[in-house]
């Protein structure tokens, strides 16, 4: 089965909510994904298999040199097949084309092999403040 990757592809709220829930738990029921990504993002990458959404990553930015990955998710039955790494690679290509010089991501410790080994990120020191 061929996987296609689409920059700024059409976002179906129901399909993305279902994929997001599979990866992170249920979002608020009133999430308007189309509006959210169009308003706050440099872009996003959708991965599709036979038209079905099987992966997604959101690329937000500061309007200058820094882009940030959010909501990287792949359908459970498609994980460990390279889809996530390709989503991130396409996001990096597009951020670079937009003039960004840094791509940031934060992640939980169990995802270190994915982001550092499979995607080529390097560890940095960062901080987080719960609000």
CATH number of the domain where residue 70 is located: 3.40.630.30
Give the strand pairing for 102-104 and 52-61.
Answer: unpaired
Residue 125 lies in a domain: no
Helices H, strands E: what count in the chain? 4, 5
Q: What is the domain extent for residue 80? A: 3-118
Of 124, 120, 8, 104, whose CA–CA distance to 62 is shortest? 104
**Overall domain count for the chain:** 1
CA 129/CA 72 separation, integer angstroms: 21
Residue 65 lies in a domain: yes
Residue 47 lies in a domain: yes
Residue 18 lies in a domain: yes
Residue 101 lies in a domain: yes
pTM greater than 0.95 (yes/no): no
What are the mean pLDDT values of the chain's consecutive 10-residue runs (131 residues total)?
A: 93 92 82 90 97 97 96 95 97 97 95 97 90 92
Gyration radius (Cα) of the chain, Å = 14
């Amino acid at each position: 089965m061929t996987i296609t990757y689409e920059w700024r592809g059409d976002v179906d709220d129901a399909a993305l909510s279902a994929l997001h829930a599979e990866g992170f738990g249920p979002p608020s029921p009133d999430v308007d994904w189309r509006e959210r990504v169009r308003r706050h993002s440099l872009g996003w990458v959708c991965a599709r298999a036979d038209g079905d959404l099987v992966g997604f990553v959101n690329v937000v930015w500061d309007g200058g040199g820094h882009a940030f990955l959010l909501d990287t998710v792949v359908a459970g039955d498609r994980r460990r097949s390279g889809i996530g790494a390709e989503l991130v690679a396409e996001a990096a290509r597009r951020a670079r084309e937009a003039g960004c010089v840094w791509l940031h991501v934060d992640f939980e410790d169990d995802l270190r092999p994915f982001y550092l080994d499979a995607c080529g990120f390097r560890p940095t020191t960062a901080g987080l403040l719960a609000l």
